[in-house]
Amino acid sequence: MMGIDVCRHRVLMKICFPIVKSTIAQHGYTLVELLVGVTLGSVVLAFLGGVLLVSEVKVAAKIQRNLAAKDAANRAIDLIRREAASSRYFRITSFADPSSCSSSPIVFVQLDGGVICIKSVPVNSTILDAQYQKAFDGPCILVRVGVPYNPNGELNTSAAPIVQPLLDGLALDGGSCSSRSASNGFSVTLASNNFNAFAGMTINMANGTIFKFRTLVPSNPMYAGNDFWNPGNSCLTTSSFGCGAIESQSVYHFKPLMQSSSEAIQPIGSKENVFYFQYPSSQYLLREDATSGYCSYTKCYVMRENKAVQLYKVDALIFPDKEVRPPG
Amino acid sequence: MRMISRQAFTLLELIVTVAVIGIVLSVVIPSTYTYLQQQKLRQASNELVSYLLTARARALQQAVEPGEACEIKLDNNILEPTNHPSNVCYDTPRLPRLPLLADIGGTNLFISSSSGGSSFYITFTRMGTVASTNLSDPTTIITLPRIFYLSNSATEARLRRCVMVDLNSLRMGWRNTIQTTTQNSPCTYDGY
């Protein structure tokens, strides 16, 4: 016991237990090896993480682009529908068959004396402003050519027509962006020849997506649907339309403002007088005059809420949901 | 005499290490600052577009009668509906006031427009289109497209976000060139 206690002394410990140099090999990594390993591992992980991250970002961006493109297409379709639904038909005086025309614009909508043309053009078309050419993708682009809007929602017919891109990335087919071929960037077919014709419209995107929709477009059976097509090329003026010119619209086609109770429209033309209204027919009350009677060809009083219009020589009343031809 | 080996960094090693860290930081800090500035501008342009889309939706939903529209004003980085009697966005529930600078938590935000001026009106018609004039300023014709430039500097803006307001569409873009005398240098647009 005593001997062991003595050996506990720090100086004597070396005598009691002589130091024997360990011959056991130390297996392990040096600090440098660990640092190099950690660095290499970090580089590899960073590379893999980067690849995965870039891939994720690319997928998210693609989804975002697709959603944005779909949203843009919906907005374009919505505008075409709204403008078409509140438009009037017109007649081309030369009465040419649009299919025989060499020029290509497809849809022509006329509203409040303003002309609106929807067509697909090359993205580098000279009718597009230079900044548009840089901002949008080709090969084709859907544009609206027509006058802009006033704040009250009516077309500013005193303003100059402008070219407004509605949708880009439309397909090119056979060297043409827009024609009557269904495979083009934008094509239209007319379903019927009633006053309110359903037009089938197709937008072919360059990425293969196809948007198809139907919209109500005023068209007069008298013109066999030819009033629906714009055979001209520019759409920028109402006087030059290539295959034909527009007959005076203000004489035969009317869209009452309905902003007062004393409005009256007395047509002077000898052709069909057609009156267009913004809301469904159920919202209007039809009489002969402000107090009594029935709406007739000679005289028709149309009332909505506290606004009214007195019409004369009424061939047809066109509502978004139906057309009415008063007797007489 | 026992020679004890002292393992430590030499002065040269320390200097090299500090120098490397300094170089790395000198690259990382400005690029991080630039990135954060870019993100703030991106956020501001997103907020602007979002506000415009909301205004457009309100015009489509609530502007029913002729003459009604949704008009908003952008002045001093603040978006809000005007108090014009035909402005449906001023009706209850009113489109909320949006201070862009405070919203993005930034210190600098400069917005200019391709059509000039210091405060801007945008009017959405009941058709959802951007009007060629405004309710509050019916005489000034607005040229479309109208492009808003958002930058973090009034004069030397390397970073610049662009918001293109067209008749029927809104697009966001950017450009990284130093501002020149003309503000209409082209932007690269990255989506609607």
Rg, chain B, Cα only? 24
Bond from prior residue into A98 cis (ω within 30 degrees of 0)? no
Q: How far is C-alpha A11 from the geometric centre of its chain's CA atoms? A: 95
Contacts of A32 (CB under 8 A, 6+ apart): none
Instruction: Output b/e per residue, A141-180; b: 16+ Cβ within 10 A.
Output: bbbbbbbbbbbbbbbbeebebbbbbbbbbbbbbeebbbbe
Distance CA A259, CA A303 (A): 11
List, for residues A120-145, the tens digit of each pLDDT value.
888 888 877 776 777 788 888 888 88
Tokens for B8, please give them: 């430590």
- Supply the pLDDT for residue B99: 92
List, for residues A298-319, the tens digit of each pLDDT value.
999 999 988 899 999 898 898 8
Q: Do B191 and A68 touch (CB under 8 A)?
A: yes
Distance CA A316, CA A310 (A): 14
List, for residues A188-246, the tens digit of each pLDDT value.
766 555 556 677 788 888 888 888 888 777 665 555 555 555 544 455 544 344 444 55
List, for residues A285-297, the tens digit of each pLDDT value.
999 998 889 999 9
Residue % of chain B over a pLDDT of 90:
34
Residue to test with chain A: of B60, B84, B90, B129, most A Cβ within 10 A: B129
B127 closest CB neighbour out of A64, A76, A149? A149
Bond from prior residue into A122 cis (ω within 30 degrees of 0)? no
- Supply the pLDDT for residue A288: 94
List, for residues B100-142, the tens digit of each pLDDT value.
988 887 778 888 887 777 788 999 998 888 998 899 888 888 8
Q: Do A153 and B127 touch (CB under 8 A)?
A: yes
Residue % of chain A over a pLDDT of 70:
64
List, for residues B6-29, the tens digit of each pLDDT value.
677 788 888 988 999 999 999 999
Residue of chain B whose alpha carbon sits nearest to that of A64: B191
Contacts of A289 (CB under 8 A, 6+ apart): A299, A301, A310
All structural domains of chain A with their residue ranges: 83-247, 250-324
> pLDDT higher for A158 or B54?
B54
Q: Do A148 and B167 touch (CB under 8 A)?
A: yes
**A6 lies within 8 A of chain B by CB:** no
Residue % of chain B over a pLDDT of 70:
87
Nearest to A187 by CA among A172, A207, A204: A204
**A35 lies within 8 A of chain B by CB:** no
Query: Where does residue A54 fall: left (phi above 0), alpha (psi -120 to 50 degrees), or beta otherwise?
Result: alpha
Distance CA A138, CA A185 (A): 11
- DSSP symbols for A170-188: E--BTTBSBSS-TTSSEEE
Alpha-carbon torsion angle A102, A106, A111, A115, nearest 10: -40
Nearest to A197 by CA among A188, A210, A205: A188
- Supply the pLDDT for residue A249: 54
Contacts of A306 (CB under 8 A, 6+ apart): A261
Count Cβ atoms within 10 A of the Cβ of residue A22 and give its class: 0-12 exposed, 13-18 middle, 19 or more buried: exposed
Name the one residue in this structure whose structure tokens are 């690319």: A58
CB atoms closer than 10 angstroms to residue B75: 13
Q: Do B186 and A131 touch (CB under 8 A)?
A: yes
Tokens for B10, please give them: 């030499």
pLDDT at A170 over 60: yes
Distance CA A104, CA A181 (A): 10
Count Cβ atoms within 10 A of the Cβ of residue A87 and give its class: 0-12 exposed, 13-18 middle, 19 or more buried: buried
Tokens for A279, please give them: 């809301």
List A246's β-bridge partners, or say none: A92
The β-bridge relationship of strands A263-265 and A307-312 is parallel
Q: Do A65 and B69 touch (CB under 8 A)?
A: no
Q: Do B192 and A71 touch (CB under 8 A)?
A: yes
- Supply the pLDDT for residue B115: 74
Main-chain phi, psi angles of A188, to 5 degrees: -135, 140
- Identify the helix (H) or strand (E) that includes residue B141: none
* Total count of residues recorded for chain B: 192
List, for residues A59-117, the tens digit of each pLDDT value.
988 888 788 888 888 989 988 888 877 766 555 555 444 444 444 445 555 555 566 77
Nearest to B149 by CA among B132, B172, B124: B172
Cβ contacts of B123 on chain A, cutoff 8 Å: 151
Distance between B5 CA and the closest CA of chain A, angstroms: 17
Contact A158, B138 (CB under 8 A): no
DSSP designation for A328: -
Nearest to B122 by CA among B64, B171, B67, B73: B73
Count Cβ atoms within 10 A of the Cβ of residue A79 and give its class: 0-12 exposed, 13-18 middle, 19 or more buried: buried
- In a 3-state reduction of DSSP, which class is residue B188? strand
Contact A313, A297 (CB under 8 A): yes
Tokens for A256, please give them: 């009452």
Cβ contacts of B192 on chain A, cutoff 8 Å: 68-69, 71-72
ipTM of predicted assembly, 2 dp: 0.73
User: Which domains, and CATH codes, for chain B?
Assistant: 11-189 (3.55.40.10)
Q: How far is C-alpha B85 from the geometric centre of its chain's CA atoms? A: 29
- Supply the pLDDT for residue A248: 55
pLDDT at A53 over 60: yes
